[in-house]
């Protein structure tokens, strides 16, 4: 079969392109992951200063962050690559990533980031 080398080359090309797309999706997911950590830190600082929050806002934000922290997951290939200042603050480490496709990881990180942004905007009013 003379077409076998061509078929093998096409399959190799398709797999290679798919790997590149998946890597880009994971990198983008990690970008959202990092942005989420930054917003999460701002919300934690708002809780610590609490002077700008009504008591009900404080309680709602605390409960939201606890629930959000339980949903936050690492991006495969980027586990524990965060640069943190380890001088006494909680890093809100994410849980091990579930078995998802790179596209699903991206969607999950976008969703988690969106939830944090909504919470941040609501307390910054």
The per-residue pLDDT for 91 is 47
pLDDT at 17 over 70: no
Q: Domain extents for the chain?
A: 36-81+89-125
pLDDT at 88 over 50: no
What secondary structure, in 3-state letters, does the chain show? CCCHHHHHHHHHHHHHHHHHHHHHHHHHHHHHHHHHHHHHHHHHHHHHHCCCCCHHHHHHHHHHHHHHHHHCECCCCCCCCCCCCCCCCCCCCCECCCCCCHHHHHHHHHHHHHHHHHHHHHHCC
What lies within 8 Å, CB to CB, of 84 at 6+ separation is: 91
Q: What is the pTM of this model?
A: 0.73
The per-residue pLDDT for 4 is 60
The per-residue pLDDT for 13 is 47
The per-residue pLDDT for 18 is 60
- The tens digit of pLDDT for each residue in 102-113 reads 999 999 999 999
- The tens digit of pLDDT for each residue in 22-37 reads 999 999 999 999 999 9
Do residues 61 and 47 touch, judged by C-beta distance below 8 A?
Answer: yes
Range 63-91 average pLDDT: 71
The per-residue pLDDT for 52 is 76
Phi first, then psi, for residue 81 (nearest 5°) are -105, 10
The per-residue pLDDT for 20 is 86
Mean pLDDT score across all residues of the chain? 79
């Amino acid at each position: 079969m003379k077409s076998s080398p061509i078929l093998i080359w096409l399959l190799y090309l398709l797999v290679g392109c798919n790997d590149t797309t998946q890597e880009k999706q994971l990198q983008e997911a990690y970008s959202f992951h990092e942005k989420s950590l930054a917003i999460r830190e701002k919300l934690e600082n708002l809780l610590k200063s609490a002077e700008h929050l009504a008591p009900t806002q404080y309680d709602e934000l605390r409960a939201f962050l606890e629930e959000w922290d339980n949903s936050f997951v690492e991006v495969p290939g980027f586990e524990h690559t965060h640069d943190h200042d380890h001088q006494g603050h909680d890093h809100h480490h994410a849980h091990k990533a579930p078995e998802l496709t790179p596209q699903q990881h991206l969607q999950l990180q976008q969703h988690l980031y969106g939830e944090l942004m909504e919470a941040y905007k609501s307390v910054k009013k």
